Structure formats: C-alpha cells, structure tokens
Chain A
Amino acid sequence: MIRGIWTAQSIAWLIVAALLPALVVVLIEQGLQGAFRIAVSLGAIGFWQLVFAVVRGQPMSPAGSVAAVAVAVLAPGEISIGQLVLALTFGTVIGELIFGGWGRNVLSSAVVALAFLYFSFPETQHDPAGIRIVLASVPAAILLLVTGILSVRVLFSAIAALVAVTFLLGEDASVLLTQGSLAFGLVFLVGDPVTSASTNPGRWLYGGLSGALAGLFGWAGAGFGAPQTIVYAALLASIFAPLIDHGVIATMGYLRRPDHG
C-alpha cells in the first residue's frame, strides 16, 4: 500500500504557505518591530510544542504559526513582549496542545490567544487591518480552496450571511470590502478546517452562523474597525461547531432509518 502525501503535516505546511502574503504585509507595515514580535511569537509557540513533543510524544505542527501571524495582524497595538508571550502560551497550551495538538483541538490556538489578549488587556487599542491584508488574503483563500483545505461551503455561507445581516440592518455592504481583519479572520480563523464543522450540511450552518455573528458584532457591537469582531465571531461559531455536527448526524441517522426509505 502506497501512502499519500496529504498528511496533517503537509496540510499544515500549505496553510503556512497561505500565510506568507499576510506575513509580508505585516513586515512592510510594522517593520522591524513587527518582525521581532513574530519571531518572539514563533519562539513561544515552538517552545511549548517541543515540550509536548518530548513529554507527551505529540507531533509538532507548523500550523501553530497561524497564531503568530494572526496576533500580528489582528492585535497590532502596544502590547509588551511579556503580554504577547503570555497570550500565545495560553492560546497554544490551553487552546491546542492539551487536546493532543493541532487536528484534535476544539478551538483554534490563534482565536484563543487573541481572545485572551482582548479580554486581559482591554485598555490596549488595536488598529484595524487595512486593504493590504484583504489583498493578501485573496491568494491565500485561492490556494486553500483549490487544495480543499478551506471549505467552499464555509466561506460562501459566511460571506452570504454577513451580507444578509448587513442588508437586514440597512447598512452599506461595500464597507466590508476594505476590512482586512474581516478577510484574514474569515480565511484563517473561521475557515480553519479543524475547528469548523466537519459534515457538509454542518459546514453550511457553521459558515452561516459565523457570518451572521460577525455581521451582528460588526454593526451593533465593536464595529468592523475593531479586529475583536471577527475573532469573537470565530470563537463562538467554533464552540457551536460540534453541536452543529451532532445535530446533522442525528438528522441523517433519522433519515437513514429503513422506514424512511
């Protein structure tokens, strides 16, 4: 039997490749300070992965670097190195490694780390990511869609729900096009294959839920200018993802019963 090449590891490397345009934008916009922060983030993530690899025999995964870039893009405010390391440690260990590493986690480590930063240090202001991140997210989305890592169903239903909520609230949908935080979050946080729903009908529901939540938070809450919007939407939606899957499977089981043809 011949082994295929699409292991968890190679999928993780493809996600890293998709991150590269966003990384370039971060380096252009934030310069040396941005590079330093990403290096520190990667060091913290790598350290904890190594600890779990040696102690628990868990495979290390390059997918952890999503958190490093996500924090750079979605939390660019004045946070100290100590705060950064603390947030990433919490995100990586509590969000991912204690569940068995990337692929077995319920919430994405990037989302957990970001939520930790926003909650613990609410005084820090984070500027919204701009149009360049939108442009960087497009090739990333294409790469992940073509390889089947990012679900068409999730992305499409999330965008559709977001636009629908926008129209329901009577707002202007064209504003959404320039929101870098939103684009990056949709592709890498909401679209994370591990933490989204894993059945096809579930993917539609999950995408719709996260899009609708992002719309609500954006127009009625913190505003699309704040990167918190998409992070909280992704956090809530992925908490509901297992429930959505469970409902889908129960419904399918009901429909499969012999007396239902």
Chain B
Amino acid sequence: MIQKRNAIKISNWRGLAVSQSGAPLQEIRPANTVQTVGMLGADYPGVRAELLVSSGDQVIAGMPLFCDRKRKDILFTSPVAGRLTDITIGAKRRFSSLTIEIEGNQRTQFAIPEKPDRDQAQRLLLESGLWPGFLARPFGRIPNPGSAPDAIFITAMDTRPQAALASVVLAGRAETFERAVAFLTALTDGPVFVCQAPGPRLVDEGAQVRCATFDGAHPAGLAGTHVNRLFPVRGKRQVWQINYQDVLALGHLLETGELVSERIISLAGPCVRQPRLIRVPAGVNLTGLTDGELSDGAKCVLSGSALDGRESRYLGRYHWQISVWPRRPAVQARNWLRSAKARAQPGPVIPTEALEHALGPRIPVMPLVRALSVGDAETAERLGCRELLEEDMALITHRTGGRQDFSAMLRLVLNSLEVSA
C-alpha cells in the first residue's frame, strides 16, 4: 500500500524539454588535478559571514573558515587542506569569496557519538560544516540550530539536464548512505523521506525512514516536487531538504571521523569534448578543471545546470554539475527598427498548456507567474508559493525564454513573506 502510494509519476511535456546535447557518459573518469578551491558568499544568501581566519593562514580539511554572524553555531569548514591565499570583501563589507591553495592532506578528526541524541547529532553536523547542506522550506534558508523539522527530504536523484545519475554515484556505497540516513532520523520526530528514481530501493523503510520513487523528466527530481506530493508545507510546518551527496559525506564522516568534501559531478554540455562524471573537491576552481577540456569558440562555463546554473569561478555549494554552453554573441542594433525591437519590453508569458508541466508542485502556473511578476506577495502566498524555492521556478524561466527571471521574483516575494512571518 505504502509502496504504491509512494511511487509517483510526474508527467512532463517532453516536446518542450531542455536540450540534452552533450549528455555525460555516466561513468566516473579521471579529471584535471586542480590547485585551488574557493568558497563564495553568494552561495549563502541570508548568511552574514564572520571570518574566523585571515589571508595567508594554513588550514586543514574540516577547519572552520567562517560562521554566520547571527547564528554563530553554523560553521563553514574548509573542504581541503592548504593555504588561504585570497579573501575578498564585497559591498557593505560582506564576505565575497575566499581561495585556498591545496597543500597536503591533513584532516580534522571529529568525535563520532555512538548513539547520538538530537543535540549530539546537531553538534556533529554543525562542527563538521555539513549543517549548511540542509535548506529549510519555507524560505530556503539554512535551518536554525536547535530547531527540529517536521520532515527531512533526501533528494537521491537529479533530473536536471546533463546531471549525474544518483545510482552511479551511490554504487557500492549503500552502507555508508544507509548509515547516514539512520543518523539523520535523530534530527526529527517526523519522517525522513528518501526520494529516488525508479530502481532498487536505496534504503530499507523503517519507523521513520520512507522511500518514494519519482518517475519522469525534470522537474520530477526536485525536492519541491517531492515535498509537495508527500508532505506539503502548510501552516507552521517546516521541512528540510538535503542532497544525497551531502548525506554520503555525512556517512563517510560517521565511518572514519574525517570530513571528505569530495563530490561526484557531471562535466557536460555541448562545449565539453568528453562529457563524463568526475570526482572533484567541493568548491573546485572551474578554470583549472576545464582547462583543455573544452571545444573552441566563445562559451560560458556554468556552475550548475543550464536551468539554474551561474557563471562562476568556483563550483557552488548547492551545485552538482558543471555545464558548458556556447555563448550567444551580443547583437548590435544596426538600424532604428532593430533598436526599437531591442528596447521593447520582454515578451509576455503565453499561458500554453505545456507551461503547466514546468512546475513540479501542484500550483496553478499562470496565476503564480502573474502574481510574481507584479510582486503580489499576498496572492502568491495564497497560491502556495511558500512551498517553493528558486530551483523550482528555474524551468519556468527557461521555458518562457529567460528574459524574466521568475526565480529572482520568487525570492523577492519570499523575502517579504519571511519578514512578515
């Protein structure tokens, strides 16, 4: 019965799907060795960073680099051992980025509690820097230490274009994964959902652990879709989501006491010579990594997918792929008619039926798009936008031509709802 209820098919309009050109070979292959990794303040909106190190310091993997000024328990730890070469501070004296030159292989040893209660479990996650792997819905912030969610969602699949298959990444690491999932049940009294693609179950169901399979094209693999179908965010409910690779890192930490911030990502896209899966440290420098890997011509290297990626020097905290696309040349207006065209407002969103499939959660798309584009927080909330995060809107932005960024509009509305909440 439960099995049947939790096998969910998400329909999608394949005719309007995202380009799959440059799909990766789903095998882990060697990659360039990189010298530097970096961390970006832009990855953590809502966090005011307070630096705990200074330029030139030697750091080892797992050592805290900065914390949230308002919630000092939330630590952001170094993914590698090395020397801090560069810290940049941006506007309003906000932390912008830091760079670490990789040297050596030293790691912090963390004490692993035998049978952790909620407090101990939280402390381990906070100290090791794995806590920021969680994002809370509503509002998509790193959750407050000391709070407990009503449910945890582990996203053990990725349906973004050119993404790595979770089954390949998890191959041979089932025990590590299962161990971490069991650990996470300490954080909540509610269910821990493992959302996966069709195939053999990743974990055994237990008192708290539930398995759910989601079938179909993007956005079937987004946490927003899973949350909406299994445990909708209504009233005062709060759910946390976490990516399966963060869960794997936790599993490794539990097994060895060491933090290994390695992730398996896909390096793909039409401009990559050999699209494939690679093993890289978190925050890897994209310039070094893609050196000699790309075809000729102008292109943009995105941290993240074609839908929600951004051009960046380093791999983002919540990105699990690098995609490289040809860069469109800027069009010069040659005459008055063309310049009038270029000045024209962005085209309207045409409410085609195909657009209904661009949003995973069951929320009417056009009313939501209209409410967001005029910043009508009240209507957007009534439609259920509290349940959404930027990643859920990315496909709508893509499908409507990308001139209006609905993810950014959603963020504005969420911010205003968060203030009044």
Contact = CB atoms under 8 A, between A and B. Distances in A.
Interface stretch (B25-33, B42-50, B250-258, B399-407): B399-407
Contacts of A60: 341
Contacts of A199: 364, 366-367
Contacts of B401: 3-10
Interface string B329-341: 0000000000011
Interface stretch (A23-31, A39-47, A81-89, A97-105): A97-105
Interface string A48-66: 0000011001111100000
A152 B15 CA distance: 15
A57 B343 CA distance: 6
Contacts of B353: 148-153, 193, 200, 203
A253 B367 CA distance: 12
A178 B345 CA distance: 43
B72 interface: no
A4 B398 contact: yes
Nearest to B405: A1
B307 A6 contact: no
Most buried by B among A3, A57, A147, A258: A3
B92 interface: no
Nearest to A2: B306
Contact of B302 (A1, A9, A57): A1
A6 B308 contact: no
B89 interface: no
B348 interface: yes
Interface residues of A, number: 45
Contacts of A54: 340
B314 to A, nearest CB: 17
B351 A7 contact: no
Given A4-B398, A8-B401, A249-B364, A103 B349 contact: yes
The 9 closest A-B pairs by CB, nearest first: A148-B354, A103-B348, A3-B402, A7-B401, A8-B347, A198-B366, A198-B351, A2-B306, A258-B235
26 contacts: A2-B307, A4-B16, A4-B398, A4-B400, A4-B401, A4-B402, A6-B401, A8-B401, A11-B352, A57-B343, A103-B349, A148-B15, A149-B350, A150-B353, A153-B353, A193-B352, A198-B366, A199-B367, A200-B356, A248-B364, A249-B364, A249-B382, A252-B364, A253-B382, A256-B234, A258-B234
Interface of A: 1-11, 53-54, 57-61, 100-104, 146-153, 193-194, 196, 198-200, 203, 245, 248-249, 252-253, 256, 258
